[in-house]
């Protein structure tokens, strides 16, 4: 198949082929995890990011390639999670700018798109590191531009771009010492190569995509474009089974005013036990609830015990994805978009971005909503809102006790998307929101959310939960933004973070021999301790952390921590460092039995 | 007897001994535990108060301002003796006491010279203004000189206080809702101050009493840069652990001319809570 031009639908089909290839290999990308801790989520993040983009693209098809690229770019921006996901979204953001207004894509335009994508991504990254997805993208784009005068055949050109990407990927080991140490190539770069591989296959009319098209039952004559079938199939493979909590629920609980105080914490915990993306906003007698759940009936029954339920939206996200497969059928959820009252649009702003229509049930009985009748106290006093990402019930509770309005569940190996962050930011009534990512891999998504938000958002680049707590402690509601930024950033410098976890493979890192199953102690970013037992690792790490001073140690115990071991550790600390104040809290984080914060 | 008389209220937390020595008249606020009502710093002394506060289970005690008539009586007596009165009171942002004194002044209907001043401060944070003014009056300073000195002291004072919990300030409505870190799970000691309008504002949140004290000391030391200062530390009797350590820190880091420890009385204590420590530092006189 020799092709010189792609229209919007064909281009979309190519993207889907790439996304599908990436999806199938997501676990392999995860496995390239260079850190001997269980945070291998690059593949998952890139896959989820791509899935969000593809969902948007499938939902809003266009024959114009410029328009299609714009739609994909928007979906990727909203769905971006993890650093590789954010970089991916930036690559396509630049790409879509290059294609703006174009009906068809040819080789020179494709090359230009890749190049602009690289330029955009480099600008978005504060400190670009060579030997990563950025390098792979750059070398491939440069080569693509170079050879764009030699050929007009898209398949031939893409094949060369892919080859260059693959060659560069192999060299990432030489560029990034950490990769060489462990003996792998960069995971983000590998993800990009898979994406390009899918493009090549599609352009060559490869088996994979052809199969997908053929498998599509009764090749939908009614479908808008032939490629749509392939697109939707890939989409379903990518997304449907990845939705663990398929029912997206939103409703209000109208409290009976004489009732006892609303037990927000208990309710939240109950929702989080079998759901995610929990957002609770209480305003006088109305509580706005948002949750993704597996059992909407259970959630409703529980909510009923606290008051009258009004304003109910329930959306089956899995069904939604299946419907995308079958544009010719008219399932129940297709129509209600029109029935949906204008003033009820996108309560939390979460759905607006996905383009997924709402199913709306009766809205009678709504007497007031937090937006229309704000609690005057809230408006008068709270000039800032605060959103923090954290993991573990105990840690979330600590953040709330320090004044964080919304705690988004997420962290190592489960990065929230830009959209998740944006949703939380939008749901607050304040015009200015501080955002604490509390993880190095969420900082970029947070910055992206800040850019996309329609209100002022200040990202404090906190890399750990202890840093986030320190920043929150420094936060002063009554002070200016500039003063708070300075204060909070200073607070980060005063805290040293220690993390204890179990190594998931044998390796040599930072000059330490690490054995699978051993416990490692990480000081900020560096592994400083490896010991056969958890207790030893804790003690050695704390000794390291306190070597350069510090008079306050906070211990956050993880879900795998042992109560007796914690007590022994506390006693040991008091004996070894009598002048140091020690506080122990149940953090409840997975994977890390102990987090330490040492403050001077 | 000096021709100028100083009047204040009980929230200046000036001890009976000092008031007697300097001839300062004091009008008490009131504090009630249920049906039982006490005159602040007169029928209820700080040490007893904190014991009662801990034992009292029916919420917090209530405090009330003196009536204008209480002030009128004092003003009338002093002006009838032919003396000029300077009456200095608890910040009008925190209490209606200043307002009551103003009304009392107007009740004199021009008979007698009374100047009512809003200290824009609390506890010994204005107690020191009153004491300095009374000392000046004894040495024959003019009314204008004394009033200038009161304003100067307020302007140059560094005032910080640290509460054990913001709960008391919050429940008494003396601090904005959004500023309070309530029910915090971390051991946080909020450092607060009082601004030029006389309102309380949070300065910083620090973890642990010792570290909060060190931080307050550091801020004051940075401000005064070794210049000679007068220091007052106000404490709540029965909850003074660590105060000796703080005194030591202050002595090491400040050039102290005069050092005084004062007790935070029942009314201020009702709103600040046990375990509050106030630090008031002015350039040495």
For residue range B101-143, what is the model confidence (pLDDT) as tens digits? 998 999 998 889 999 999 999 999 999 999 999 999 999 999 9
HEC-encoded secondary structure of A8-64? HHHHHHHHHHHHHHHHHCHHHHHCCCCCCCCCCCHHHHHHHHHHHHHHHHHHCCCCC
Q: What is the C-alpha end-to-end distance of chain B, expressed in Å?
A: 23
Whether residue A33 sits in one domain with residue A12? yes
Pick from B125, B154, B183: which residue ends a domain? B154
pLDDT digits (tens, 9 = 90+) for A68-111: 999 999 899 888 887 788 889 999 999 999 999 999 999 999 99
Pull the structure tokens for residue A367: 């007497």
The C-alpha atoms of residue B89 and residue B84 are separated, in whole angstroms, by 17
Q: What is the separation of C-alpha B96 from the centre of its chain, rounded to a whole number of angstroms?
A: 15
From the number of C-beta atoms within 10 Å of its C-beta (0-12, 13-18, 19+), residue A208 rates as middle
Contact between A489 and A434 (Cβ < 8 Å)? no
Q: How many domains does chain A have?
A: 4
On whether residue A364 sits in a domain, the answer given is no
On whether both B179 and B270 belong to a single domain, the answer is yes
Q: Do the domain assignments include residue B46? A: no
CA distance B92 to B113: 21
Percent pLDDT > 90 in chain A is: 50
- Residue A255 pLDDT > 80, yes or no? no
Interface contact A398, partner B, CB < 8 A: yes
Closest CA in chain A for residue B209: A581
Query: What's the average model confidence in pLDDT over A199-203?
Result: 95
pLDDT band at A284 (very low <50, low <70, confident <90, very high): low
- Domain stops at, among A442, A464, A493: A493
Q: Say what the pLDDT of residue A84 is.
A: 84
- pLDDT greater at residue B127 or residue A31: B127
Q: Residue A214: what pLDDT?
A: 32
Beta-carbon separation of A552 and B184 below 8 A: no
- pLDDT, one tens digit per residue, over A571-596 is 999 999 998 989 999 999 999 999 99
Q: Shortest Cα distance from A583 to chain B (angstroms)?
A: 8
pLDDT at A263: 77
Q: What is the pLDDT at residue A107?
A: 96
Task: Give the CATH number of the domain where residue A133 resides.
Answer: 1.25.40.340
Q: Could you say which of A219, A241, A263 is where a domain stops?
A: A241
Mean pLDDT across A55-60: 92
Asked if A486 reaches chain B (Cβ–Cβ under 8 Å), the answer is no
Q: What is the pLDDT of residue B101?
A: 94
Would the CB atoms of B208 and A552 count as touching at under 8 Å? yes
Q: Are residues B213 and B248 in the same domain?
A: yes
Q: Do A568 and A443 sit in the same domain of this protein? A: no
Does the structure show a pLDDT above 60 at A347?
no
When mean pLDDT is compared over A109-113, A322-326, B167-171, the highest value belongs to A109-113
Is residue A44 a part of any domain in this protein?
yes
Please give the distance of CA B13 from its chain centroid, rounded to a whole number.
Answer: 6
| Residue B141's CATH number | 3.40.50.10170
Highest mean pLDDT among A31-40, A110-119, A126-135, A170-179: A110-119
Q: Which residue do the tokens 């550790």 mark?
A: A569
Nearest CB to B181 within list A397, A402, A478: A402
Nearest-neighbour CA in chain B from A404: distance (Å): 10
Nearest CA in chain A to B182: A401
Question: What confidence category does residue B272 fall into, taking pLDDT thresholds of 50, 70 and 90?
Answer: very high
Highest mean pLDDT among A332-346, A347-361, A384-398: A384-398
A351: contact with B, CB 8 A cutoff? no
Question: Do A192 and A278 reside in the same domain of the chain?
Answer: no
Beta-bridge partners for A360: A313
In this predicted structure, the answer to whether residue A388 has a pLDDT above a threshold of 80 is yes
What is the reported pLDDT for B2?
73
Q: Is the domain of A17 the same as that of A57? A: yes
| A546 plus A564 within the same structural domain | yes
pLDDT at residue number B181: 56
Q: What is the pLDDT of residue B277?
A: 95
Whether the CB-CB separation of B215 and B247 falls below 8 Å is answered with no
Residue A311 scores a pLDDT above 90:
no
pLDDT of the residue at A377 = 34
pLDDT at residue A258, as a whole number: 52
Q: Provide, rounded to the nearest whole percent, the portion of chain B with pLDDT above 90.
A: 71
Residue A503 is part of a domain; what is its CATH number? 3.30.1180
Let me know whether B92 and B171 are in one domain. Answer: no
Residue in A closest to B201 by C-alpha: A478
Q: Do A377 and B177 touch (CB under 8 A)?
A: yes
Q: Quick one: angle between helices A296-304 and A264-273, nearest 10?
A: 170
Which among A381, A401, A552 has the least Cβ separation from residue B184? A401
Q: Which domain holds residue B180?
A: 157-283
Judge: B176–A381 Cβ closer than 8 Å, yes or no.
Answer: yes
pLDDT confidence of residue A316: 80
Exposed / middle / buried, residue A246 (Cβ in 10 Å: 0-12, 13-18, 19+): middle
- Examine the domain organization and report whether B17 and B150 are in the same domain: yes
Taking all residues of chain B, what is their mean pLDDT, rounded to a whole number?
91
CB contacts, 8 Å: A599 with chain B: 207
Query: Do B211 and A477 lie within an 8 Å CB cutoff?
Result: no
Using the predicted structure, report yes or no on whether residue A331 has a pLDDT greater than 70. no
Residue B262 lies in a domain: yes
Confirm whether A203 is domain-assigned: yes
Determine, yes or no, domain membership for B55.
Answer: no
Structure tokens at A349: 């702003």
Average pLDDT of span A330-355:
33
Assess if residue B43 is contained within a domain. no
Residues from B in contact with A at Cβ < 8 Å: 176-179, 181, 183-188, 201-208, 210-211
The verdict on B143 and B227 lying in the same domain is no
d(CA A523, CA A505) in angstroms, rounded, equals 19
**Angle at the Cα of B178 from the Cα atoms of B176 and B183, rounded to 5 degrees:** 105
A485 and A511 in a single domain? The answer is no
Count CB atoms within 10 A of the CB of residue A341: 8
- Quote the pLDDT of residue B161: 94
Residue B197 in this model has a pLDDT that exceeds 50 = yes
Instruction: Tell me whether residue A1 is in a domain.
Output: no
> Is 90 exceeded by the pLDDT of residue A327?
no
For B201, the closest of A377, A402, A478 (CB atoms) is: A478
Confidence category of residue A17, pLDDT binned at 50, 70, 90:
very high
Same domain for A199 and A268?
A: no
pLDDT of residue A349: 30
Contact status of A100 with chain B (Cβ, < 8 Å): no
Query: In whole angstroms, how far apart are CA A178 and each of A36, A38, A394, A510, B40?
Result: 11, 16, 33, 9, 69
Q: How many angstroms separate the Cα of A389 from the Cα of each of A12, A275, A354, B131?
A: 33, 16, 21, 52
**pLDDT range class, residue A39, cuts 50, 70, 90:** low
Give CA–CA dist B228/B258, Å, rounded. Answer: 9
Whole-number Å distance between alpha carbons of A585 and A233:
47
Measured CA to CA, the distance from residue A571 to residue B268 in angstroms comes to 39
- Give percent of chain A above pLDDT 70: 79
In terms of domains, do B150 and B177 share one?
Answer: no
Closest of A220, A202, A221 to residue A211, by C-alpha:
A202
CATH of the domain at A350: 3.30.70
| B101 within 8 A of B131, measured Cβ to Cβ | no
Is pLDDT of A367 > 50?
no
- Separation between Cα atoms, residue B14 and residue A240, nearest integer Å: 73
Q: How confident is the model at residue A370 (pLDDT cuts 50, 70, 90)?
A: very low
Backbone dihedral angles phi then psi of residue B256, each to the nearest 5 degrees: -90, 125
Read off the pLDDT band of A259 (50, 70, 90).
low
Domains identified in chain B, total number? 2
Tell me what pLDDT residue B240 has: 87
Do B122 and B13 reside in the same domain of the chain? yes
The confidence score (pLDDT) of residue A328 equals 40
Pick A47 or A208 by higher pLDDT.
A47
Task: State the sign of the Cα–Cα–Cα–Cα dihedral A176, A180, A182, A187.
Answer: positive
Final residue in a domain of this structure, among B127, B154, B181? B154
Helix (H) or strand (E) holding A122: helix A107-124
Q: Taking 70 as the threshold, does the pLDDT of residue A34 lie above it?
A: no
**One domain for residues B126 and B141:** yes
Give the per-residue pLDDT at A281.
67
Residues of chain A with Cβ-Cβ distance to B210 below 8 Å are 551, 581
Task: Report yes or no: B60 and B32 within 8 Å, Cβ to Cβ.
Answer: no
Q: Are residues B166 and B251 in the same domain?
A: yes
Mean pLDDT of all residues in A238-256 = 70
- Considering the domain boundaries, does residue B80 fall inside one? yes
A480 touches chain B (CB under 8 A): no
* pLDDT of the residue at A209: 42
Residues B241 and B138 occupy one common structural domain: no
Domain check: are A296 and A234 in the same one? no
B274 belongs to a structural domain: yes
Higher-pLDDT residue of A352, B42: B42
Domain stop point among A493, A524, A549: A493
3-class SS letters over A198-266: HHHHHHCCCHHHHHHHHHCCCCCCCCCCCHHHHHHHHHHHHHHHHCCCCEEEEEEEECCCCCCCCCHHH
Asked if residue A412 and residue A457 are part of one domain, the reply reads: yes
* pLDDT exceeds cutoff 50 at A337: no
Contacts of A477 in chain B (CB under 8 A): 176, 178-179, 202
Helix axes A227-239 and A207-215, enclosed angle (nearest 10): 100
Residue A552 and residue B211: Cβ atoms within 8 Å?
yes
CB contact under 8 A, B186 and A551: no
Q: Do residues A179 and A34 make contact, with C-beta atoms less than 8 angstroms apart?
A: yes
Residue in chain A closest to B181 (alpha carbons) equals: A402
A397 contacts in chain B (CB < 8 Å):
185
**Shared-domain flag, residues A297 and A278:** yes
Is the per-residue pLDDT at A272 higher than 90?
no
A2 touches chain B (CB under 8 A): no
Q: What is the CATH number of the domain that holds B240?
A: 3.30.1180.10
Q: What is the mean pLDDT of residues B250-270?
A: 95
Inform me whether the pLDDT recorded for B257 exceeds 90.
yes
Which CATH number do you get for residue A444? Answer: 3.40.50.510
DSSP B178: G
* DSSP 8-class letter at A78: H
Higher pLDDT residue, A375 or A416? A416
Residue A439 has pLDDT above 80, yes or no: yes
Residue A396 to residues A147, A216, A501, B175, Cα–Cα distance (Å): 53, 45, 20, 26
At residue B253, the pLDDT reads 96
Give domain status of residue A3, yes or no.
no
Residue B32 has pLDDT above 70, yes or no: yes
Domain that holds residue A178: 8-241
Strand order in the sheet with A552-557: A526-531, A519-523, A495-502, A594-599, A552-557, A581-586
ipTM over 0.90: no
Burial A91-105 (b: 16+ CB within 10 A, else e): bbbbbbbbbeebebb
Cα distance between residue B247 and residue B233, in whole Å: 8
Same domain, B163 and B242: yes
Label each residue of A310-336 as H, E or C.
EEEEEEEHHHHHHHHHCCCCCCCCCCH
> Is there a domain that residue A2 lies in?
no
Q: Please report whether residue A372 resides in a domain.
A: no
Residue B137 domain flag:
yes
The residue among A182 and A520 whose pLDDT is bigger is A520
Same domain, B213 and B84: no
Instruction: Provide the percentage of residues in chain B whose pLDDT is more than 70.
Output: 96
Residues A70 and A44 in one domain: yes
Q: Is the pLDDT of residue B184 over 70?
A: no
A402 and chain B in contact, CB less than 8 A: yes
Contacts of A360 (CB under 8 A, 6+ apart): A313, A336, A339, A340, A341, A344
pLDDT band at A470 (very low <50, low <70, confident <90, very high): very high
The answer on A88 and A153 residing in a single domain is: yes
Answer with the one of B154, B173, B197 that is the final residue of a domain. Answer: B154
Interface test with B, best of A284, A383, A488, A551 (most B CBs within 10 A): A551
Mean pLDDT of B237-259: 92
- Is the pLDDT at A547 greater than 80, yes or no? yes
pLDDT in tens, B54-67: 898 888 898 999 99
pLDDT of residue A175: 85
Domain annotation covers residue B215: yes
**Residue A374 forms part of a structural domain:** no
CB B185 to CB A398 under 8 A?
Answer: yes
């Amino acid at each position: 198949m020799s092709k010189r031009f792609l229209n919007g639908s064909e281009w979309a089909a190519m993207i889907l082929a790439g996304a599908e290839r990436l999806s199938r290999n997501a676990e392999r990308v995860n496995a390239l995890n260079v850190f001997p801790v269980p945070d291998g989520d690059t593949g998952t993040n890139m896959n989820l990011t791509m899935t969000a983009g593809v969902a948007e693209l499938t939902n809003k098809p266009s024959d114009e390639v410029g328009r299609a690229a714009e739609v994909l770019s928007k979906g990727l921006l909203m769905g971006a999670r993890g650093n590789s996901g954010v970089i991916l979204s930036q690559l396509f953001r630049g790409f879509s700018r290059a294609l703006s207004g174009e009906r068809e894509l040819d080789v020179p335009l494709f090359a230009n798109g890749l190049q602009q994508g690289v330029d955009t991504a480099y600008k978005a990254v504060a400190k670009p590191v060579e030997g990563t997805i950025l390098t792979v993208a750059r070398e491939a784009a440069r080569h693509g531009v170079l050879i764009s005068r030699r050929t007009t055949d898209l398949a031939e050109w893409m094949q060369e771009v892919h080859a260059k990407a693959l060659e560069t990927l192999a060299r990432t080991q030489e560029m990034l010492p950490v990769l060489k140490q462990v003996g792998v190539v960069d995971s983000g770069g590998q993800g990009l190569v898979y994406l390009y591989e899918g493009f090549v296959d599609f352009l060559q009319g490869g088996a994979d995509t052809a199969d997908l098209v053929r498998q599509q039952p009764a090749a939908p004559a009614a479908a808008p474009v032939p490629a749509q079938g392939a697109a939707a199939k890939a989409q379903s493979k990518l997304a449907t089974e990845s939705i663990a909590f398929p029912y997206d629920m939103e409703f209000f609980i109208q409290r009976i005013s004489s009732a006892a105080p609303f037990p927000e914490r208990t309710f939240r915990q109950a929702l989080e036990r079998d759901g995610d993306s929990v957002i609770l906003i209480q305003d006088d007698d109305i509580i706005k609830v948002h949750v993704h759940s597996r059992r909407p009936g259970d959630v409703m029954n529980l909510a009923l015990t606290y008051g009258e339920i009004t304003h109910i939206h329930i959306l089956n996200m899995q069904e939604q994805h299946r419907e995308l497969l079958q544009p010719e059928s008219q399932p129940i959820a297709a129509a209600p978009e029109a029935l949906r009252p204008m003033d009820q649009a996108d309560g939390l702003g979460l759905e607006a971005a996905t383009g997924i229509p709402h199913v709306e049930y009766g809205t009678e009985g709504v007497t007031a909503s937090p937006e229309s009748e704000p609690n005057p106290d809230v408006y008068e006093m709270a000039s800032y809102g605060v959103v923090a990402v954290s993991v573990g019930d105990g840690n979330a509770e600590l953040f709330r006790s320090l004044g964080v309005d919304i705690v988004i569940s997420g962290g190592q190996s489960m990065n929230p998307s830009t959209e998740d962050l944006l949703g939380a930011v939008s749901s607050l009534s304040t015009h200015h929101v501080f955002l604490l990512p509390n993880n190095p891999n969420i900082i970029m998504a947070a910055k992206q959310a800040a850019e996309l938000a329609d209100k002022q958002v200040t990202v404090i680049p906190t890399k750990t939960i202890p840093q986030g707590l320190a920043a929150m402690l420094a936060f002063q509601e009554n002070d200016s933004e500039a003063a708070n930024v300075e204060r909070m950033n200073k607070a980060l410098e005063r805290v040293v973070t220690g993390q204890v976890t179990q190594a998931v493979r044998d390796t040599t890192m930072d000059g330490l021999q690490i054995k699978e199953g051993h416990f490692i102690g990480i000081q900020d970013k560096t592994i400083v301790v490896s010991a056969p037992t958890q207790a030893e690792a804790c003690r050695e790490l704390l000794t390291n952390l306190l070597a350069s001073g510090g008079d306050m140690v906070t211990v956050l115990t993880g879900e795998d921590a042992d109560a007796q071991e914690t007590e022994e550790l506390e006693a040991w600390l008091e004996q070894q460092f009598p002048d140091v104040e020690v506080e122990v809290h149940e953090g409840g984080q997975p994977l890390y039995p102990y987090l330490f914060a040492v403050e001077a | 007897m000096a021709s100028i008389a100083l009047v204040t209220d009980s929230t200046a937390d000036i001890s009976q001994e000092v008031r007697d020595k300097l001839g300062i008249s004091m009008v008490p606020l009131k504090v009630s535990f249920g049906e039982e009502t006490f005159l602040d710093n007169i029928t209820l002394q700080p040490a007893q108060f904190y014991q009662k506060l801990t034992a009292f289970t029916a919420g917090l005690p209530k405090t009330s301002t003196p009536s204008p008539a209480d002030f009128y009586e004092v003003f009338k007596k002093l002006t009838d003796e032919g003396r000029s009165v300077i009456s200095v009171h608890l910040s009008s942002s925190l209490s209606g006491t200043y307002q009551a004194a103003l009304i009392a002044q107007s009740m004199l209907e021009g008979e007698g010279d009374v100047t009512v001043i809003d200290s824009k401060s609390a506890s010994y944070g204005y107690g020191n203004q009153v004491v300095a003014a009374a000392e000046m009056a004894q040495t024959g300073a003019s009314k204008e000189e004394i009033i200038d000195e009161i304003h100067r002291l307020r302007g140059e004072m560094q005032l910080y206080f640290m509460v054990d919990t913001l709960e008391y300030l919050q429940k008494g409505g003396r601090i904005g809702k959004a500023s309070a870190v309530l029910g915090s799970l971390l051991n946080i000691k909020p450092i607060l101050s009082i601004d030029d309008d006389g309102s309380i504002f949070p300065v910083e949140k620090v973890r642990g009493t010792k570290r909060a004290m060190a931080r307050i000391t550091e801020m004051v030391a940075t401000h005064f840069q070794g210049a000679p200062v007068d220091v007052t530390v106000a404490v709540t009797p029965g909850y003074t652990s660590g105060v000796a350590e703080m005194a030591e820190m202050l002595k090491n880091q400040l050039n102290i001319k005069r050092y005084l420890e004062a007790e935070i009385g029942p009314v201020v204590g009702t709103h600040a809570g046990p375990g509050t420590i106030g630090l008031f530092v002015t350039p040495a006189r």
